[in-house]
Structure 1
Amino acid sequence: MQLSDLIIDDRHQARFKVHRSAFVSDEILALERERVFSKCWLYLGHSSELKKPGDFISRRVGGRPLLYTRGKDNALHALYNTCPHRGALVCRERSGNRRAFTCGYHAWTFDDCGRFLGMPGREALPPEATEDGKLDLVEVERMEEFRGFVFVCFDRNAMPLRDYLAGAAEYLEYVADQGRDGMEIVTGTQDYCVNANWKLLQENSADGYHGVPTHSTYFDYIRSRDNSNFGGMNAKGWVKNLGNGHAVSESIGLLPWGRPYARWAPGWGEEAKAEVETLNREIMQRLGPERGNVVANGDRNLLIFPNLVVNDVMATTIRTFYPVRPDHMEVSAWCIAPTGESESSRDRRLRNFVEFLGPAGFATPDDVEMLELCQRGYANAASAPYNDLSRGMLSNAPTKTDELQMRTFWRRWHQLVADDAARELTGP
């Protein structure tokens, strides 16, 4: 089949279908690595993760091992974690504080900005060998920051980050505005693997249609804990196309769970109510009642193309997911919180974080099971070749149980992957 045949997008007949080879093909994964992950802005980290000069994190982004540092110049740096001599990783630790990195192979040494410092037997090279940074660690082609969220791009000619974010920038600002003194990543990373194609988690992350069937146990728990008569997700809320493949699923004040900043829930107990209401008043005074209501009472799942999800719901989770094989992905998740929030607020936040979205919470194991069942079902793709994502195509006001957010992703994905649409795929 041709790349152009991967998507059926018939707006007149309200049909949108995705060929299941997109989830199983090695050829398509190779194109994704070339045309998506090598060209789009990708989340590297948050500025709060590196608080002082010398702080560093080694992190794989888009399949590339990177070194994310705060240098002695107090600036953030994104460096390729590979020695210019023979290519070995110069840093094997996940994080820490160092003023210099020494390659374990031949002891070439670099400072926390990536500049070459020295090597054993320096006299064996001509004096000009180190001129103009020739032996420095290589900087990632582009790194830009927006409200504390740091992104990299491996394409030097990519559009500016702010332009790339398009309408998603406003939703990152809603997160950033929660903290009077800024936001910070709570120490610790949740890493896990899923035996499914990475795009399935992108679809799942803002899919309101699966909420009640898949997560019924969580809703039973909420009803019991809070003595609530909440009937489930249904169609409460709406979805939006934010441009450049980004989308959001959101509602304001319609859902039953609490938000540590700043919407109280009965299950937290009366002792928490006064503190949460004080937080709510602070945000209303600081941002004004209209914006304050959106920030404090809004529940939103933000999808930033290709593989960043910000679940700003009962807690705020940042998630990335990268393909290893067509049927296997690696997921990383972090909790973000207002800087300096009280111990009691932080406790509520972390409980909410692990309770629903954590790897052992109510939601994630359910979702992983469903995604892996989908992947197993794609073994029948020769006879049942398409996924159907047509819900809401005739609607002028798509709801959370419609699939506009998925079509938004897939249209941008197809635009990039099928750049030469006449190309034939040789695989099944």
Structure 2
Amino acid sequence: MVTQNKTRESSLVVDDRENGLFRVNRKAFLDEEILHMEREKIFNRCWLFLGHASELPNPNDFVTRNVGGKELIFNRDRKGEFHAFLNTCPHRGAMVERQESGNSIAFKCFYHGWAFNNNGNYATRHQKGTYPENFNHDGCANLIPVKLEQYRDFFFVNYDDGANSLDSYLADAKIIFDLIDQHGPDGMEVVGGAQKYSIRSNWKLLMENSYDGYHALDTHETYFKYLTEAIGGPAEMPKVTNVMNLKNGHASIEGDAPWGRPVAKWIPAWGENAKSEVEEIKREVVSRVGAERANRICQLGRNTGIFPNLVINDIMAITIRTFYPVEPGVMNVTAWALGVKGEKRDFRKRRLDNFLEFLGPGGFATPDDVEALESAYRGYAAYKLAPWNDISRGMSRGQGEPFKADDEEQMRCFWREWDRRMGGE
């Protein structure tokens, strides 16, 4: 819904609500000092997605990954409790665990052999006299824990000890995680491993792109031609019925679309044999959550951005995607696919096919989007002559008038929070 607030303008963001104008200075994508500020004011203070509970199904399981520029261990201890530790030895700083995943009751640094239980406690026995008897009485030799909280099966970390709770931070975005978790009676799981790739563009452009309905038909024309054959008729523009400002910079677009969904939206390309199975899945969802909620889960899809850099695309498949800046013009992207726990093999295959054909790095969409973002970034070389990006579409709609599929309000939600955190108020 449209709300009318006073105009606000900083050096990088123009939010002129009286005249329906929203612009972002391209310097925000190019400047090294701005990236330094983002690391301090955003990535060091916001809740950042770490991983999904299904990645650690057993006690002593672990994964390692870089989150917000810091190497972390995400693990379960012998009792099954979840932890997040900085993956750096308190002795001299080397990475303690160098494998990407595994199962271990302890971690050992290869540099000098310091060892730690998987609850983070120092576990090395040194020769008598090499260290004081009360060495580590203050925990100085333990692995350093990171603030860790979860909502449903999604785990987040925060490097700011004074940060508000994850529950408060997610605000109205919790409904997105609720809807995803209700796809199946036993919840969801990460399917297979992760896809990792780099894009030569600024990280904020991928957040914009991930819920940008305006670009779909032009940029992904090839996919919509393919989809016309798959569904046995014209592939129309997705019908966005809800643009959600989820607070704290989070936003989502929701609506019906022509593609099939493994959670119970059949299309002719799947064959008549699959139709009854899809109907059975939908009946199960209805029995569990009610008809209205089931229709939202089965029929409607969502593209969601969780500030600052988590994207959840619940469309023809479900992907979780994070992206971190290496420099102003380079980002590293990691993507995971989610599937229903215990779903039938043919539906799991269909889910993965959907994921790969559109959302995967070699699919119909991702190469198009990468080219668009890299092309835009090359264009910013002339930013002193052409300094502004326009994100005004739909801003002048009247009070209470719903936004449309190709409006840009969801991006404005991101930029208002970005500007606030960067000191634009």
The TM-score bracket by the shorter chain reads: over 0.9
2:297 maps to a residue whose letter is V
Gaps of 5+ in 2: 1-8
Alignment of 1:140-289 (within 5 A): 140=146, 142-233=147-238, 236-251=240-255, 254-289=256-291
TM-superposition CA deviations, 1:68-121 (whole Å, max 9, x none): 001112110000000000000001110011111110010000111111111443
TM-superposition CA deviations, 1:324-371 (whole Å, max 9, x none): 010000000001111111111100100001010000000000000000
Whether the aligned pair in 1 keeps the contact of 2:254 and 2:301 (CA below 8 Å) is yes
Alignment of 1:270-419 (within 5 A): 270-395=272-397, 396-418=401-423
Alignment of 1:46-125 (within 5 A): 46-121=52-127, 123-125=129-131
Q: Which moved more, 1:56-65 or 1:389-398?
A: 389-398
SS across alignment from 1:193: strand
Whether the aligned pair in 2 keeps the contact of 1:190 and 1:333 (CA below 8 Å) is yes
Whether the aligned pair in 2 keeps the contact of 1:168 and 1:246 (CA below 8 Å) is yes
How far apart in 2 are the matches of 1:182 and 1:121? 49
Match of 2:12 among 6, 10, 18: 6
Gaps of 5+ in 1: 422-428
Whether the aligned pair in 2 keeps the contact of 1:106 and 1:120 (CA below 8 Å) is no
Whether the aligned pair in 1 keeps the contact of 2:60 and 2:78 (CA below 8 Å) is yes
SS across alignment from 2:407: coil
Deviation at 1:275, TM superposition (A): 1.2
TM-superposition CA deviations, 1:184-203 (whole Å, max 9, x none): 11121000000000000000
The sequence identity of aligned pairs, in percent, is 49
How far apart in 1 are the matches of 2:61 and 2:132? 33
TM-score by length of 1: 0.95
SS across alignment from 1:126: coil
Whether the aligned pair in 1 keeps the contact of 2:248 and 2:307 (CA below 8 Å) is yes
Whether the aligned pair in 2 keeps the contact of 1:107 and 1:119 (CA below 8 Å) is no
How far apart in 2 are the matches of 1:225 and 1:345? 17
How far apart in 2 are the matches of 1:122 and 1:27? 49
State the number of aligned residues: 414
TM-score by length of 2: 0.95
Q: Which moved more, 1:385-394 or 1:3-12?
A: 3-12
* Large movers: runs of 4+ above 2 Å: 119-123, 230-233, 235-238
How far apart in 2 are the matches of 1:356 and 1:230? 15
Q: 1:6 to 1:122 in 2, by over 3 A?
A: farther
SS across alignment from 1:159: coil
Whether the aligned pair in 2 keeps the contact of 1:107 and 1:120 (CA below 8 Å) is no
Whether the aligned pair in 1 keeps the contact of 2:87 and 2:96 (CA below 8 Å) is yes
SS across alignment from 2:319: strand
Instruction: Give the aligned partner of residue 6 of structure 2.
Output: none
Q: Which moved more, 1:3-12 or 1:305-314?
A: 3-12
Q: Which moved more, 1:242-251 or 1:121-130?
A: 121-130
Deviation at 1:174, TM superposition (A): 0.3
